[in-house]
Amino acid sequence: MVEIKSVTFEHHRESNAINHVKLGIGESSPRLSWKFSGNDKNWTQTSYDIEIWRVAVPNVTPLAVQAFHVDSSKSVLVPWPMDALQSRKTARVKVRATGPVDCEPTPWSNEIFATAGLLNRSDWTAQMIAGERMLAPNNSLRPVRFRKTFKVANFPAVRDVRLYITSYSVYEAHINGKRVGEHQSGK
């Protein structure tokens, strides 16, 4: 029996996922790839089916589903079959493939999620913040801490939150004293 082992969005592998959601992908029409596992030696893909749901929040009822059938042996970097994702929008995807004539299709792959990042310049609307003093290039560079206190309206009802952040240097983000994410970003 042949199965689809993994499905990936263009340039985004499982290690880039948080809770199986690829966050902040930089493509509005990401190409898809999948790998097979199984022991059928002469099995080759002849077509594939893709189902894509538009989702407001991962693990919540989808907004809309579209199904696509493509006659193709291609399983690497296949074109995104539907209209482009918009900034901050999430899609849930699953794939199955069909082999030679009289073969049953593979089972559907596990679902994967991807959320588009801020794709347009106009999406970035924050104001720049800076330290109180300018540092000369040869002086000691002590870390500068920026804090912002804010309240979230309807806090118990909040289901999903994204922090979009960038800097001219290294940063480490914390919320309520807990580090956000596992990476450190900067020059």
Question: How high is the pLDDT of residue 32?
Answer: 95
In a domain? residue 172? no
Question: How high is the pLDDT of residue 187?
Answer: 46
* pLDDT value at 18 more than 60: no
Question: How high is the pLDDT of residue 163?
Answer: 76
Question: How high is the pLDDT of residue 176?
Answer: 81
Q: What is the DSSP string of 94-121?
A: EEEEE-STTPPPPPPPPPEEEEE---SG
In a domain? residue 19? yes
In a domain? residue 173? no
How far from the centroid of its chain's Cα atoms is residue 140's Cα? 38
In a domain? residue 103? yes
SS3 for 158-184 is CCCCCCCCCCCCCECCEECCEECCCCC
What is the DSSP-derived secondary structure letter of residue 18?
Answer: E
Q: How far apart are CA 5 and CA 171, in angstroms?
A: 36
Helix (H, G, I), strand (E, B) or coil at 155: helix
* pLDDT value at 71 more than 90: yes
**Residue 97 vs residues 33, 51, 94, 131: alpha-carbon distances, Å:** 12, 12, 11, 55
Q: What is the tens place of the pLDDT at every residue in 149-177?
A: 777 777 777 766 777 777 766 778 888 88
Question: How high is the pLDDT of residue 16?
Answer: 44
Mean pLDDT of the chain: 81
In a domain? residue 184? no
- Asked if 55 and 147 touch (Cβ cutoff 8 Å), the reply is no
Q: What percent of the chain has pLDDT over 70?
A: 77
CATH code for the domain in which residue 74 is found? 2.60.40.10
Structure confidence at residue 61 as a pLDDT band (50, 70, 90): low
Domain extent for 80: 2-120
> Who's near 127: CB < 8 A, 6+ residues apart?
none
Q: What is the tens place of the pLDDT at every residue in 78-108?
A: 999 999 999 988 899 999 999 988 888 999 9
In a domain? residue 169? no
Question: How high is the pLDDT of residue 84?
Answer: 92
Buried b (16+ CB within 10 A) or exposed e, 165-175: eeeeeeeeeee
Give whichever of 35-44, 52-61, 122-131, 169-178 has the largest mean pLDDT: 35-44
Q: What is the pTM of this model?
A: 0.72
In a domain? residue 75? yes
Please tell me the total count of domains within the chain. 1
